Structure 1
Amino acid sequence: MSNAADRWLFPNQTHTITRQLTDGARALMLDLHIVDGEVHLVHSKPFLGKRLLTDGLIEIRHFLEKTPKAVVTIIFESYVPADAVKQCFDETELTKFVHSQQVNDPWPTLNQLISTGKRLVLFTDRGGGQWSGYHDVWTFCTETHFSVKSVDDFSFEFNRGKPTNRLFILNHFLTNPVASTSLARQANNPDLLNNRIETCHRQTKHLPTFVVVDFFEIGDTVKTVQQFNMKK
């Protein structure tokens, strides 16, 4: 979301949403705020950068239409009523792609999601369950801590969400005091990232579902995660 290509200040990524997806990212973390009465993508404060949510959703819809075998997940940090988010999805004709999951049901495979056309999975920390497919993130997911300043501080302790939740968000980025490419070069080192994924899986018995990084192209993190997936 917060990226240098769109001229955000203190960005977490280099490239646009479309470029991130095209290059292999399959999960996005998007922050939602109301600015001037409309739902915007905002990271922390509007003066650092903002964009209409509908514009971002149109990018995602175009990618899904052009890439019929792609499954994408969005995890929202939301400060917006659920019905306002739903309106944006309806306006951009993206609702038809949204998968709806019952808490106690087994998750479909990627191929099953592709075959049904429901190739967009949504989570939110506010208003989950208020419309079909808008899932409460901490009902389904658990995560590691996200406020880390040094690679020495990376841990395997769970933060939010019950440890028994099936989906696992592995936060693997540094913020000191903001994100930067120099910090990403440390965190995204392929050996470090691979070792953290392997060790985390071994110690927690959780296979990471989502590996969250800043400036994903640094260190070729997509390749590192793909290689791990192939081994599993």
Structure 2
Amino acid sequence: MRGSIGVLTLIVLLLLPGCVTPTVPSGSQVDEETVQYEEPCNGLVVLCSRSYSDVTFPETHNAFSTHEDGIYYPAANHLTGLLPQWEAGMRAFMIDTHYETLGDERIETVRLCHGDDDRGFSPCVYGNVDAEAWLIDLKSLMEDSPRDVVTLLVENYVQPDHLKAVFEASGLYDMVFFHPMNSPWPTLGEMIDDGTPLVVFWEQSEDTNHPWIHDFLTHSWTTNYA
């Protein structure tokens, strides 16, 4: 993954948590579903009735690859770690999963590292973050902000079963939304009410054995600038 801060573009509206809840002008027509929520979703009440595909989430690229997390040149993308990113309004995060050492493919060695394996060694030599620990921190932030929907985009270099095991160990797997193909996305309010406010994509192809991981290019697209 390249760049430092991106936007997961599922549609055109950028709305940050913490914005003021809009008032409805008198005499205007309001969908009944819009007014059934009193608490905001991702910062705005109006977003509760919008489908996931009709909301844009600000995203950090290689969110784990920070000086704060002990990763420096040539692999660092940010100075500050997950908490400052969250407090700045980020609700989508790109992460790269690797084995700490090439050839040692165990669940216990799954790490977040920036780079690829084409040079004959793991990019984790430039610095790495324990994947389970990072996901546990994300889960804690989500539990503290239960009205927010979150997105993860994974550039994955580990076995899918190992990736699932790490999500299960962190406690995040139970919060993942499974999106059936060719069906409409639910609203943010529905995802929050159902206890599935986390959507996970990866950059591999669709995997019917792991329907909790959604193929990024099936559901979205990139521009020439991202």
- Could you tell me which runs of 5 or more consecutive residues in structure 2 were left unpaired when the two chains were aligned: 1-63, 116-122
User: Which residue, 49, 71, 94 being the options, matches 1:29?
Assistant: 94
Kept after mapping to 2: 8 A contact 1:58/1:92: yes
Show the counterpart of 1:65: 143
Aligned pairs (5 A) from 1:75-224 = 75-126=153-204, 128-129=206-207, 130-145=209-224, 154=225, 171=226
Show the counterpart of 1:9: 72
- Give the structure with the larger helix fraction: 1
Kept after mapping to 2: 8 A contact 1:82/1:127: no
Is the partner of 1:142 in helix, strand or coil?
Answer: coil
Q: Deviations over 1:151-207 (max 9, x none)?
A: xxx4xxxxxxxxxxxxxxxx2xxxxxxxxxxxxxxxxxxxxxxxxxxxxxxxxxxxx
Kept after mapping to 1: 8 A contact 2:112/2:128: yes
CA drift of 1:63 comes to 0.7
Kept after mapping to 2: 8 A contact 1:103/1:140: no
- Could you tell me which runs of 5 or more consecutive residues in structure 1 were left unpaired when the two chains were aligned: 146-153, 155-170, 172-232
Kept after mapping to 2: 8 A contact 1:4/1:14: yes
RMSD value, Cα: 1.5
Kept after mapping to 1: 8 A contact 2:69/2:129: no
Is the partner of 2:97 in helix, strand or coil?
Answer: strand
Is the partner of 1:143 in helix, strand or coil?
Answer: coil
Q: TM-score of the superposition, structure 2-length normalised? A: 0.61
Range moving further from structure 2, 54-63 or 13-22? 13-22
Report the number of matched residues.
Answer: 147
Q: TM-score of the superposition, structure 1-length normalised? A: 0.60
Runs of 4+ in 1 over 4 A off after TM superposition: none
Amino-acid identity (%):
30
Kept after mapping to 2: 8 A contact 1:79/1:126: no
